[in-house]
Structure 1
Amino acid sequence: MRRVTYAMGVSLDGYIVGPDGDFDWTEPDEEVFRFWIDETREVGVHLLGRRLYETMLYWETADQDPSLDAASLEWISVWNPLPKVVFSSTLSAVQGNARLASGGLAEEIGRLRAAPGGGDIAIGGATLASEAAALDLIDEYRMVVHPVLVGSGIPFFPRHGRRVDLELLETRTFSSKVVHLRYRVTRRPVRPPGPPATGGGVRAEPG
């Protein structure tokens, strides 16, 4: 079954965007940028909310910029053809290799899991990820942790108040001291209910 993954750059105190909407501290150096390109090659479809979709629209025409370096052009060659599903209640049309979601998040993910084809189902954006987490749809959390404290902002982890057990699968420290952490969600098996208690081993009288 295709995995649902949630990956973003994050501050050490757990935010993807700072209190003023600033996220320039997530700008990758060459090594981290190469990592993101390779990660995106493993994605089969990307799910985005409106805000992230509009942020990423830059790349749809960025290849017209003659000043772009080779790494940026390689990113464009990976990102632009990638199928995308955009969740929005305000957009009526989207550009590039994208479509508007035709159903709810659980319905869309269910269809994508069942459809032929490989690659991860990647979720981008904290709002969409929070909804997916509340529905227990995320299989892996992947963080690229930057050595900065921003104090407040948009948190990486959803605040839904539900316990989630994780298994560490991979770590990597880059030369810039940025750290990649990859965790798998471990779901505890649901145990069938036991026999009704009768209290201290005393046989219950028939009612």
Structure 2
Amino acid sequence: MLPVIYSMSVSLDGFIAGPDGDISWGAPDAEQFRLHIEQTRDIAAYVAGRGVYQDMLVWETAEQTMPGEAELEFARIWRAIPKVVFSRTLHSVTGNARLATDDLATEVDRLRRRPCEGVVSIGGAGLAAAAIAEDLIDEYRQFVCPSILGNGTPYFPPLAQPLDLRLIESRIVSSRVVYLRYQRMR
């Protein structure tokens, strides 16, 4: 079965967005963006909430709006990934996406059982919180940025039980961001 990952930029104090939803503090530089491209190549399926899905729509028209070679490479990879979108308000989605028809655990299980290689990636704090509550996530990946936000959207939701994790990778990216990869201990 494919592993399920949750990967986001996170402030030093544990937030993925500031109090007003601002994520500009975590914008990747060229080296970090290259790492994102390489990791995106490994995504076999992507599960997103409405907000992340809509934020990522910019990659559907990257050829018209983004001149950079790296951005166009990311866009080509991103568009090819099958996506499942959870939303209470959207009635349709575009590109290589479909609206979820089942609950999160069922949709994730279906994606994990696909006969391919790679990972299933979950995007969006609310959806990730639901996946964490159901213990669906196998790996947590953080790009820890040297910013302290003081408040905002946390990477981890409040937990009823501790999660036991094992560090399986760490590295410094661009001399300012620390990449941490943890595996769920089961």
- TM-score bracket, normalised by the shorter chain, equals over 0.9
Alignment check: 8 A CA contact 1:17 1:154 kept: yes
Summarize deviations over 1:154-186 as a string: whole Å, max 9, x none.
000121332110000000102331010000000
Unaligned runs of 5+ in 1: 188-207
| Structure 1 residue ranges (4+ consecutive) displaced by more than 6 angstroms after TM superposition | none
Deviation of residue 80 (structure 1)? 1.1
Distance 2:46 2:97 in 1: 9
Equivalent AA in structure 2 for residue 40 of structure 1 = T
> Within 5 Å, which residues of 2 pair with 1:1-207?
1-65=1-65, 68-187=67-186
Alignment check: 8 A CA contact 1:130 1:160 kept: no
Summarize deviations over 1:13-40 as a string: whole Å, max 9, x none.
0000001211101111000000000001
Count of aligned positions: 186
Distance 2:62 2:148 in 1: 31
Q: Rg bigger for which structure? A: 1
Equivalent AA in structure 2 for residue 96 of structure 1 = G
Distance 2:175 2:75 in 1: 24
Summarize deviations over 1:118-144 as a string: whole Å, max 9, x none.
210100111101100111110000000
- Give the TM-score normalised by the residue count of structure 1: 0.87
Q: Which structure would you say has the larger RCO, counting Cα contacts within 8 Å and 6 or more residues apart?
A: 2
Structure with the larger strand share: 2
Unaligned runs of 5+ in 2: none
Query: What is the identity percentage for the equivalent residue pairs of Structure 1 and Structure 2?
Result: 52
Structure with the larger helix share: 2
Distance 1:161 1:18 in 2: 24
Distance 1:113 1:26 in 2: 29
Distance 2:99 2:159 in 1: 26
- Give the TM-score normalised by the residue count of structure 2: 0.97
